[in-house]
A and B are shown apart, each in its own frame.
Chain A
Amino acid sequence: MPAKLILSLNNSVLGEYPLDKERIVLGRKAENDIQVDNLAVSGQHAAIITILSDSFLEDLESTNGTYVNGKLVKKHALKNGDVITIGKHELKYVNDEATEEDDFEKTMIIRPGMTGHAAAAAKAEEQTPSAPAGGGGPSAAAPAGDGQTPTGKIQVLSGPGAGKELELKKALITLGRPGVQVAVITRRPQGYFITHVEGKQPVVNGSSIGSQAHALKDHDVIELAGVKMEFFQG
């Protein structure tokens, strides 16, 4: 049995909605899967994404916000018994399916981006067989053509080399002065990371990065071997 939402207002039940689609949108307008006709509710207020037996709530930048058990949330993994409040309406999340560990013991393959936009997901569904419906084997995984990290660059801010730019085109770039201070910048699928190699730990935005790889953000200022430089995401 799929999980469901029970909609109520002032403790009187208005309806029950099974979560039998990957994405269910609730809001004031009639085209929503769950319509809550009240001015406190935004046109498209929140979405519920269901993957196998788990559901996730996402506020769609509603004017008055979405609350779970009294707490304002943007994104929330729903648990059995959670109460979602939008305006004065309440939706209780009921998931009786005692999720047995065995259901998930076997590794299964699903297509990527299931938590993404409905349109993209729907499109993927047309092209591939449906997602595994329970204990079966893998059935669909798309080639995640998520591409490379865009090429970033660094620009020297201080010293004789000020203004000099370096495109971070290589997968691994070493920076610094051997014997003084050396760091490497690596291009990972999630973005650029800086890691200490030799000498003192490099400083990013005024604080030492420690000894682990540190994710670089756009406009981060790196200090290394007495030189200041700025990182650009690209």
Chain B
Amino acid sequence: MATNGKLEIVGVSDVGRKRSHNEDSIGSDTEIGLAVLADGMGGYQAGEVASAIAVETVLSELRARIKQIDPGEVDDESGFSRESLLIKAAIEKANETIYQTAQDKPECHGMGTTIVTVAFYEDRLTVAHIGDSRLYRLREGNFEQVTSDHSLLQELIDKGFYTPEEARKSLNKNLVTRAMGIEPGVSPDIQEEFVKPGDLYLLCSDGLTDLVEDHEIAVILRSYAGNLEEAGRHLVQKANDYGGKDNISVILARTLKRFTAKKTWVSKVFDWF
């Protein structure tokens, strides 16, 4: 397939030091170029049910459907690629399943989950997310957050009550304003980004970012960029060193070379003048 051998993906999920069980779920498929991470919450130990449904549904939906589309083709109506629309549909389907399960099973009542998922195709990626699980990118040494949280804190920063520096000290860290499984419908944020060979992407749950600051994450990624498993292990270790108060999950994905299926990069890039 398009991304096989051109993409390296490694995931680590750790219970942390304070929780009795791990409510995060992760999954990936290098053949179709997909990574999914979900941070479950709520219900009587049902958070992991919600996050597992989210990850498994997105993986299986994409595996079933990605071969049926023309890679990288843009839908004129929405301006999004076919891949983006597939991911959106898969998240909506997962949301319905989680919502229905939460309604049907008393022990699952009130469960929900965040999600962040990335699909690589045609020298680009689609990232979709709901809640406060994030995507970061390390490109040519520069570390940058790609997604913007659906959290009370981010809302307060956007409205000017806090600077990002003040926000770090705030106590309202774990209030998300959007999640899967809470309502019959869901609205993921979807972005498409250009991908370069050598880019390193980090998907993570708030168990990492609540404890480890961005610049520390960047240092670890730069130091262990040659070995993704080592990098993942060190990120989790760092969060545990700082108390490990929540489950910690990371997925690292590196693009090894360009992965266009048919068109050359030059012709693709030549969109305009």
Contact = CB atoms under 8 A, between A and B. Distances in A.
Interface of A: 51-54, 56, 58, 74-77, 99, 101, 103-115, 137-146, 156, 161, 166, 169-179, 182, 184, 186-190, 195, 197-198, 210-213, 225, 227
Contact of B193 (A51, A52, A104, A172): A172
A171 B155 contact: no
Contact of B178 (A141, A212, A227): A141
B177 A138 contact: no
Given A113-B177, A114-B155, A143-B185, 15 more contacts: A54-B170, A54-B171, A77-B170, A103-B171, A107-B114, A107-B132, A108-B42, A115-B152, A115-B155, A173-B272, A175-B272, A178-B266, A187-B79, A190-B148, A195-B193
A187 B110 CA distance: 33
B79 A171 contact: yes
A174 B176 CA distance: 33
B144 A140 contact: no
Contacts, number: 184
B177 A56 contact: no
Given A138-B110, A175-B271, A109 B179 contact: yes
Contacts of B266: 178-179
A104 B171 contact: yes
Contact of A109 (B81, B144, B182): B182
A137 B194 contact: no
Contact of A182 (B111, B166, B269): B269
Mostly helix, strand, loop or mixed at chain B's interface?
loop
Best-buried of A104, A114, A140, A176 by chain B (most CB within 10 Å) = A104
Mostly helix, strand, loop or mixed at chain A's interface?
loop
A161 B124 CA distance: 28
Contacts of A104: 171-175
A150 to B, nearest CB: 12
B160 A74 contact: yes
Interface residues of B, number: 64
Contacts of A210: 142
B152 A110 contact: yes
Given A54-B171, A115-B161, A141 B191 contact: no
A137 B79 contact: no
B193 A186 contact: yes
Nearest to A138: B42
Contacts of A175: 271-273
